[in-house]
């Protein structure tokens, strides 16, 4: 197998004369030695560049970072500083963004089952928009208005009936979905009619999100067409077309760039005569390729005639995507980035179950040994954010590298953190 494609690595990745890899001017082996493993290492310049690309492609105020992909205070501030607004999908995400100093009027609250408390929190904070997802949520907004809260600006989430070609767990635009008001059965029209009449809210626009990790620009254009047709007679100021742009995770995959995605969507909207401001909510495409996870190899087990298992010091608790979605990843050794990878092995974690697989058939250098630092690229989205404490592993730190400096923005959890919420 060929070396790991450098195109999967963060923008500032450079191979040094000795064959080792630096990101943000920091040697990854030094980062591993300084902060320990496992560790998420983010190329700050890469994240900033993707935020700027999104703002340039869609315009100021029209590129909304979906924080579910990766959120901590440093990330929230970075995205906001680069001109993005932020989408939060729970009271917790809202809290983290506000706690980071992002103004409430830069935040949109999402969620298919927002509680009264979450809605109250968002309205009291003064968020920019609440994306209304259901009739029950409308009832809750009425309740809050009756309590005396101000009427928030809202966007109606529409399920356009467009099937995105992606894993079924992350496809959301089809009719059979827990999200939004279905277009096909008239719910969308009923919701919009009620929202327009309601004194509890100000309806500002409609929204759709067809799914995540979508590679085909045509799926987005189709959704834009369906939404534009629905939205035209409403004549509302906002049309939000969600996130979902895919990224390449493994050799041979190719995804549209944010700029190309912008061109497809905005051209489609222009051709359809859309007058509303068109905005999007990218998450994965902003952060996925910005990070690599560094692990240490601890155990290598060869079963002649069967396979080789390579165990690292993390696993499904820092990257559940292979187990959840069957997602593929690549692996390489930061000490020898351009090495051929003839060894095919199962890369596994340290959790107490056989399903704890990071890469089913990883291609690795032949001289891989115990103690090696091993990296998996494209782990910047939905890795840290979906991390767990399974088997009471402590969640890894997040390190931002930039211009030769590595700084921890989320520290490694300690054993004390594991018992912090225990009472008695």
Q: Tell me the catalytic residues.
A: 352
Q: Which is nearer to ligand LLP, 48 or 284 (CB)?
A: 284
State the minimum distance, in angstroms, from the CB of residue 283 to ligand LLP.
3
The first and second tokens of residue 173, run together, are 């635009």
Nearer to ligand LLP among residue 15 and residue 250 (C-beta): 250
Backbone angles phi, psi at 56, to 5 degrees: -65, -40
Q: Helix, strand, or coil here: 204?
A: strand
Q: Least distance in Å: CB of 386 to ligand LLP? A: 6
Binding mask 95-134 for ligand LLP (x = CB under 6 A): ---------------x------------------------
C-beta separation of 208 from 239 below 8 A: no
Strands 343-348 and 357-364, bridge-based pairing: antiparallel
Residues 4-63 binding ligand LLP (CB under 6 A) are none
Interface residue with ligand LLP, options 91, 160, 161, 242 (CB under 6 A):
242
- Part of the chain binding ligand LLP (CB under 6 A), chosen from 74-82, 92-100, 144-152, 207-215: 207-215
Q: Could you count the other beta carbons within 10 Å of the beta carbon of residue 69? A: 25
Work out whether 351 is an interface residue with ligand LLP (CB under 6 A). no
- Of the pair 71, 373, the CB lying nearest ligand LLP is at 71
Q: What is the dihedral of CA 364, 370, 372, 373, to 10 degrees?
A: 90
Q: Which is nearer to ligand LLP, 212 or 293 (CB)?
A: 212
> SS3 for 189?
helix
Site of tokens 């298992």 = 309
* CA–CA dist 66, 68 (Å, integer): 6
Contact 66, 240 (CB under 8 A): no
Nearest approach, Cβ of residue 269 and ligand LLP (Å): 17
Among 48, 50, 153, 209, binds ligand LLP (CB under 6 A): 209
**Where in 252-311 is the site for ligand LLP (CB under 6 A)?**
281-285
CB atoms within 10 A of CB 279: 24
Tell which one of 38, 160, 161, 244 touches ligand LLP (CB under 6 A). Answer: 244
Q: Are 394 and 384 in contact (CB under 8 A)?
A: no
Between 280 and 294, CB nearer to ligand LLP: 280
Q: Which two tokens stand for residue 264?
A: 């497809």
Q: How far is the CB of 257 from ligand LLP (least distance, A)?
A: 13
Residue 295 in contact with residue 376, Cβ under 8 Å? yes
Q: Does 321 bind ligand LLP (CB under 6 A)?
A: yes
Kindly tell me which residue out of 9, 84, 231, 245 binds ligand LLP, with binding defined by CB under 6 A.
245
Cβ atoms within 10 Å, residue 183: 22
Pick 134 or 212: Cβ nearer ligand LLP: 212
* φ and ψ of 408, to 5 deg: -80, 125
Q: Which is nearer to ligand LLP, 27 or 213 (CB)?
A: 213
- Under 8 Å between Cβ of 216 and 163: no
Q: How many residues bind ligand LLP (CB under 6 A)?
A: 22
Task: Report, in angstroms and rounded to the nearest whole number, the Rg of the chain calculated over CA atoms.
Answer: 22
Q: How far is the CB of 324 from ligand LLP (least distance, A)?
A: 7
Contact residues toward ligand LLP (CB under 6 A) are: 66, 68-69, 87, 110, 170, 209, 212-213, 242-245, 281-285, 321, 325, 382, 386
């Amino acid at each position: 197998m060929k070396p790991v494609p450098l195109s999967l690595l963060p923008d500032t990745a450079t191979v040094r004369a000795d064959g080792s890899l630096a990101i943000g001017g920091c040697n990854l082996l030094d980062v591993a030695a300084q902060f320990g493993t496992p560790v998420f290492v983010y190329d700050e310049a890469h994240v900033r560049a993707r935020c700027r690309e999104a703002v340039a492609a869609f315009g100021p105020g029209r590129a909304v970072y979906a924080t579910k992909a990766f959120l901590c205070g440093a990330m929230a501030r970075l995205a906001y500083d680069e001109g993005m607004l932020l989408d939060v999908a729970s009271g917790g995400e809202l809290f983290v963004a506000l706690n980071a100093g992002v103004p409430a009027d830069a935040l949109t609250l999402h969620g298919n089952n927002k509680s009264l408390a979450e809605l109250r929190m968002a309205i009291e904070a003064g968020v920019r928009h609440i994306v209304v997802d259901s009739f029950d949520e409308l009832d809750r907004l009425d309740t809050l208005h009756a309590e005396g809260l101000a009427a928030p600006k809202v966007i109606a989430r529409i399920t356009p009936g467009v099937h995105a070609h992606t894993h079924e767990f992350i496809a959301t635009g089809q009719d059979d979905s827990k999200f939004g008001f279905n277009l096909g059965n008239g719910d969308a029209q009923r919701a919009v009619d009620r929202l327009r009449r309601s004194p509890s809210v100000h309806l500002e626009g409609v929204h759709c999100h067809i799914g995540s990790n979508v590679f085909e620009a045509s799926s987005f254009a189709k959704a834009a067409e369906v939404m534009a047709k629905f939205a035209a007679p409403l004549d509302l100021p906002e049309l939000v077309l969600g996130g979902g742009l895919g990224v390449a995770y493994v050799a041979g995959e190719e995804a549209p760039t944010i700029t190309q995605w912008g061109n497809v969507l905005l051209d489609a909207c222009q051709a359809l005569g859309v007058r509303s401001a068109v905005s999007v909510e990218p998450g994965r495409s902003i952060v996925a390729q910005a990070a690599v996870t560094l692990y240490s190899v601890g155990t290598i087990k060869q079963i002649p005639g069967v396979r080789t298992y390579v165990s690292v010091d993390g696993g499904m608790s820092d990257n559940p995507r292979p187990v959840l979605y069957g997602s593929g990843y690549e692996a390489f050794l930061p000490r020898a980035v351009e090495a051929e990878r003839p060894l095919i092995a199962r890369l596994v974690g340290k959790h107490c179950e056989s399903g704890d697989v990071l890469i089913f058939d990883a291609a690795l250098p032949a001289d891989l040994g115990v103690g090696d630092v091993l990296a998996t690229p494209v782990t910047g989205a939905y890795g840290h954010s979906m991390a767990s404490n399974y088997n009471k592993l402590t969640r890894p730190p997040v390190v931002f590298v930039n211009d030769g400096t590595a700084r921890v923005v989320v520290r490694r959890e300690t054993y004390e953190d594991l018992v912090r919420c225990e009472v008695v």
